[in-house]
Amino acid sequence: MEELINKLKAEIIEVLNLEDISPGDIDAESPLFGEGGLGLDSIDALELIVLLEKNYEIKIENPQDGKTIFFSIKSMAEYITEHQAA
Amino acid sequence: MMDVYIKGLGNISPQNTADNSQFLDKIVEYDQNNLQVIHPVYKDHISPIKLRRMSRMIKMGIAASSICLDDAGITNPGAIITGTGFGCTGDTEKFLYAMVENDEQYLTPTAFMQSTHNTISGQIAIMLGCKSYNSTYVNRGSCFEAAFQDAMMLINEGEANDALIGGFDECTDKHYIITSRLGYWKDRDIKNTDLYTAGSSGSISGEGASFFAISKDGGSNSYAKIKAVNHFYKPDGFEEVERRIQSFLEANGHNPDSVDLVVNGLNGDEEGDLVYHHLMKGALKSSTHTCYKHLCGEYDVASAFGLWLACKILKTQTVPESVRVGNAPAGQINTVLVYNHFKSSYHGLFLLESC
């Protein structure tokens, strides 16, 4: 899980062009959207959906699940692990 | 048409032009035919959160517009109008490559949004919260003139009191290779300062983002009064160019002898430059002549750099040695004509007066 979390951090930094942020600056349990975390927005959410599809072959069928899956890096990693095991 | 005044400038180019307090104090020299912009510190003009999603071209455009509006003291312009030959070329390439590489799957929204020609005028409007008229002209070598003309008509018709106008284009590596194959550029690398003496076909490639804030109200801080803008396509020889320039001047209360200074679009291409030499020896022989494409290179909206040069000359009453063709002007510079053509097809004219 730790390895996947670090990989996700690096991928998110690259895809979202977070120039001044390094993987060590991101708390895996902090919220990705809104105050108190990375402060991502709806366009970033679309980029993350594409990232899951392209890099992990996971398609989110129910848009309502997005809020839970993309809450934090850790929740994303858990979702990926769960789906890859299935 | 009523006079309008140029109140602010923002110019990001291959020279140090982003700082409005300077005026070509030291020329940047290049040893290759692909002149690229000198980037300002973007964080001084754009918030880091917005900056991270912006591509190179968008950063250039947004920063130039921000410098321009600050210079003019305008916070919410009555119109935002831009001109671009190719738009955000880098983003378009990125998006198209992603389509091919991923078999039209996994297309990301950012590259798509940023690959349209009107991305920059839209982004400026979003950043300013400006809901006024917003348009982008894409008619290649005269798109900047068309954008300027549109803004002047809006002000003339009372639709806006002021407007932000910009011309921008970028030259990516791929764009440079493609246009090289089309014979746009010189075969061998030259120094940009040798552009007019290299004596061969083709020019040197350039890029930039130049913005202008215009207003119906003058004032002591105005750069120039803009009398008129005109553009025409594929004239039938030098005589027609000369005739059109004379008509343009006469329609605006001038004649070739009353033009103190001409900003010429000479670009070092032997054939393309013939028309400028024809005018310099003919109808416009009594004016002081200047040129600028050794500073910014050739691109679809290079005339915007020429207009910037004209504004700075009128405001400072200084003609830097680096842009002179021949001698410095003898007296006061009151009237300036900017004449440019792109690939001998798109011809543009600006007529300016001092304030």
pLDDT tier at A63, thresholds 50, 70, 90: confident
Q: What is the ipTM of this complex?
A: 0.75
Quick one: pLDDT at residue B172?
97
Instruction: With CB atoms and an 8 Å threshold, state whether A46 touches B107.
Output: no
Residue B150 half-sphere exposure toward CB, CA atoms < 13 A: 20
Q: Which residue has the tokens 């553009």?
A: B231
Nearest to B252 by CA among B234, B235, B230, B231: B230
Question: How is chain A split among helix, strand and coil, in percent rounded to 5?
Answer: 60, 0, 35
Query: Chain B residues within 8 A (CB-CB) of chain A?
Result: 48-49, 51-53, 102, 105-110, 113
How distant, in Å, are the alpha carbons of A8, A67, A83 from that of A29? Answer: 13, 14, 20
Q: Do A17 and B102 touch (CB under 8 A)?
A: no
What architecture (CATH level 2) is domain B4-215? Answer: 3-Layer(aba) Sandwich (3.40)
Span B167-191, average pLDDT: 97
Average pLDDT over residues B82-97: 95
Which chain A residues contact residue B51 at CB under 8 A? 19
B61 close to B166: Cβ distance less than 8 angstroms: yes
- Which two tokens mark B52? 């991270």
The structural domains of chain B, with segments of one domain joined by +, span: 4-215, 225-353
Task: Give dist(CA A60, CA A51) in Å, integer.
Answer: 11
Considering chain B, what is the average pLDDT of its residues?
Answer: 96
Nearest CA in chain B to A19: B52
CA distances from A33 to A75, B132, B325 (A): 13, 31, 58
pLDDT in tens, B9-49: 999 999 999 999 999 999 999 999 999 999 999 999 998 87
Give the whole-angstrom CA distance, residue A26 versus residue B47. 20
pLDDT of residue B248: 98
Give the mean pLDDT of B315-338. Answer: 94
The SS3 call for residue A49 is helix
Residue A48: its chain B contacts at CB < 8 A? none
pLDDT at B249: 98
B46 within 8 A of B54, measured Cβ to Cβ: yes
String of b and e for B205-235 (b: at least 16 CB within 10 Å)?
bbbbbbbbbbbbeeeeebbbbbbbbbbbeeb
Q: Does B225-353 carry CATH code 3.50.50.60?
A: no
Please check whether the two domains, B4-215 and B225-353, share a CATH topology.
Answer: yes
The predicted pLDDT at position A85 comes to: 74
Helices (H) and strands (E) in chain B — how many of each? 11, 11
- pLDDT band per the 50, 70, 90 thresholds, residue A48: very high
